[in-house]
Amino acid sequence: MNTDSMSSAGSFASEFETLVKKQVDSIKLGNIVTGTVVNIGKEMVTIDIGFKSEGVVPTQQFQGIDGKIDVKVGDETEVFILQLENEQGQVVLSREKAMQKRVWEHVEQTFAEGALVTGKVMQKVKGGLQVDIGIPAFLPGSQVDIRPHRNLDKFLGEVYDFKVLKITKDKGNIVVSRRAVLLSERSQLREETLKVIQEGVVMEGTVKNITDYGVFIDLGGIDGLLHITDISWGRVNHPAEKLNVGDKVPVVVLKYDEENERVSLGMKQLKEDPWLHVDERYPIGSRVVGKVFSIVDYGAFVELEDGVEGLIHVSDMSWTKKSKHPSKIVSEKQMVEVQVLGIDHQERRISLGMKQLTTNPWNELAKLHPVGSIVTGKVRSITEFGIFVGIEDGIDGLVHVSDFSWTKRIKEPKEISELYKKGTEITAKVLEIDVENERLSLGIKQLEEDPWEKISMRYPVGSRVKGKVASIADFGVFVELEEGVEGLIHTSQLGLNKEDNVKDNFKIGDEVESEVINIDRDEHRISLSISIIKNREEHNMSNFSDDGAGMAVTFGDLLRQAKDEK
């Protein structure tokens, strides 16, 4: 062997001796050493760590989630020295302890450098969540996200990056934060966003929060408000109808307040205003189809397209169903065909009609039942001013109280319901048809001859009549001459002195005699007088005074008296 060979061999021996000495020196309780797997048993894995005796590790510490052993004979692995010699003279080792110690060293280094660790959220614990970063770590509830969450269940099983906030090694406590990571990312995104944000710029954002008045969009470190009125050209009752938290949406910057860092966003502005050419798409008189989206007392709102809606007024829903509520004719979400009646650009509303698409039955009514014809129908409703009678489907005619009878007057509304009952069939005469205002006037008394046409023949002016007091008013006494025919004796014609009281001298039911002094056939009024009769009687009696001359009554006087009385 030459000198060089001997020198090389000596050097190798020296290095080997140093390594062996270093390995032996490291074999102490609590140290981590590298060993070689020499045997894999059912209960234990035997590992050679270069000590006088071999070490053992429970086999289960090498089992994965699927139960399979993740090492084979000959592999090197790090182990933690728990005990230098057990009862069998073996070194007791732990792979788990070695891994945990390495994780602790990594966490400590990460904490010192301000770097991030990756972990999986395992379970909920008091005050937050437990995270597996190789060893258990505590994630406080306040550090889970930028904004607080009442329910943390959705974070279970998720893998995130965390910042180490605090380490207490003697107690084995590690506190981590996801919020700090998000804030740092948000700050970086914010810087990038600030470089491009300005009014008119179209950006993509993520729906962060939804309120009654709008949606907050995360543009990348900066939140913008998308007001409910800027979501769509169409009607939006609540933002949640159009958007969900987490949705990625394109928006345009409407206004940017750099000083206060407030951003107003719009979505509908990315599309053309549908009202710009609404006249071309919906000319007056055209037929269109839309969906009913709202019903109110005065009509129904119909959506023709997104952002274009119209109103069907209740008066334009049907020619005949005037008294019905709109909900009785149409329902929400119903598709209806309508006619465009008018366009209000200022109010952005279109007037629509349904009845205009059908034949007006009022035009046909005049042909079926012309003025003067006799019709029959059932009483549909009773009011204080008359009764409505059904003539055609949906068309009612009104018989006013003044057209019930030529002679009988209705003094109380209850008298109407006493005369006619709902559902009763009656016959009437068509008096007037107003197609424009959709009104039909009927009369019952017109079926008979007007008795007032001959009243002047039965009660000529100057004739004496007898009747019973029907009612007493401040201005006179009404006397019933026959059923339905009354005459008025005015207070000036009652033959009373000024100091006399009318009610003291006349009682309802009293029979009185009076003289007809006037007849108003148009107004159906008869004026009577008692004063005239009294004055005439007083005049006649004056012819039989006690002055002597009057005591001699001749046959001629008796004839004149008889003539006067006649």
- Contact between 357 and 338 under an 8 Å Cβ cutoff? The reply is yes
Structural domain includes residue 2: no
- Contact between 266 and 236 under an 8 Å Cβ cutoff? The reply is no
Shared domain for 443 and 365, answered yes or no, is yes
Shared domain for 365 and 440, answered yes or no, is yes
Residues 6+ apart with CB under 8 A from 495: 530, 531, 533, 534
Shared domain for 517 and 496, answered yes or no, is yes
Please tell me the total number of residues recorded for the chain in this structure: 566
In this structure, what CATH number is given to the domain that contains residue 537?
2.40.50.140
* Distance (Å, whole) CA 117 – CA 564: 136
Q: How far is CA 355 from the centre of its chain?
A: 27
* Distance (Å, whole) CA 531 – CA 494: 6
Return the structure tokens found at 53.
């005796």
Structural domain includes residue 1: no
How far lies 554's CA from each of 121, 518, 559, 562, in Å? 142, 37, 9, 13
Up-side HSE of residue 446: CA atoms within 13 Å toward CB? 19
Shared domain for 368 and 346, answered yes or no, is no
Shared domain for 377 and 403, answered yes or no, is yes
pLDDT for the residue numbered 7 = 52
* Distance (Å, whole) CA 86 – CA 368: 119
**Computed over its alpha carbons, how large is the radius of gyration of the chain?**
55
Last residue of a domain, one of 415, 447, 479: 447
Structural domain includes residue 257: yes
Shared domain for 463 and 521, answered yes or no, is yes
* Distance (Å, whole) CA 165 – CA 139: 10
Number of structural domains found in the chain:
6
Shared domain for 443 and 369, answered yes or no, is yes
pLDDT for the residue numbered 303 = 92
Last residue of a domain, one of 323, 357, 391: 357
Shared domain for 256 and 244, answered yes or no, is yes
pLDDT for the residue numbered 1 = 52
How far lies 496's CA from each of 89, 466, 479, 505, in Å? 149, 18, 17, 9
Last residue of a domain, one of 230, 254, 270: 270
pLDDT for the residue numbered 557 = 44
Structural domain includes residue 119: yes
Shared domain for 118 and 78, answered yes or no, is no
The structure's pTM equals: 0.46
Q: How far is CA 350 from the centre of its chain?
A: 21
CA dihedral 305, 308, 313, 319 (to 10 degrees): -40
* Distance (Å, whole) CA 111 – CA 519: 118
Print pLDDT tens along the chain (566 aa). 555 555 554 554 455 455 445 455 568 887 888 899 989 888 898 999 888 888 999 988 888 777 788 888 888 888 889 888 888 888 889 888 888 888 888 888 888 888 888 989 999 999 999 998 888 899 999 999 988 888 888 899 999 999 999 888 777 788 999 998 988 888 887 777 778 888 888 989 899 899 999 999 988 878 889 999 999 988 888 999 899 998 999 999 999 887 787 899 999 999 888 998 899 999 999 999 999 989 999 999 999 998 899 999 998 998 877 667 899 999 999 999 999 999 998 888 899 999 999 888 888 888 888 898 999 989 988 898 898 998 877 788 999 988 888 777 777 778 888 888 888 898 999 999 888 888 889 998 888 887 777 777 888 888 898 989 888 888 898 998 887 788 899 988 888 888 888 888 889 888 989 999 998 877 778 899 988 888 888 777 765 554 444 444 333 443 444 444 44
pLDDT for the residue numbered 2 = 52
Return the structure tokens found at 348.
């952005």
Q: Which position has the token pair 């046959």? A: 555
* Distance (Å, whole) CA 526 – CA 533: 17
DSSP string, 218-245: E-SSSEEEEEGGGT-SS--S-GGGT--T
- Contact between 161 and 117 under an 8 Å Cβ cutoff? The reply is yes
* Distance (Å, whole) CA 72 – CA 362: 100
Structural domain includes residue 552: no
Shared domain for 467 and 530, answered yes or no, is yes
* Distance (Å, whole) CA 265 – CA 215: 9
Domain that holds residue 35: 21-99
Q: Which position has the token pair 């090197």? A: 76
How far lies 144's CA from each of 131, 136, 177, 223, in Å? 11, 16, 7, 20
Structural domain includes residue 142: yes
pLDDT for the residue numbered 184 = 84
Structural domain includes residue 157: yes
First to last CA, the chain: 190
* Distance (Å, whole) CA 427 – CA 335: 42
Structural domain includes residue 8: no
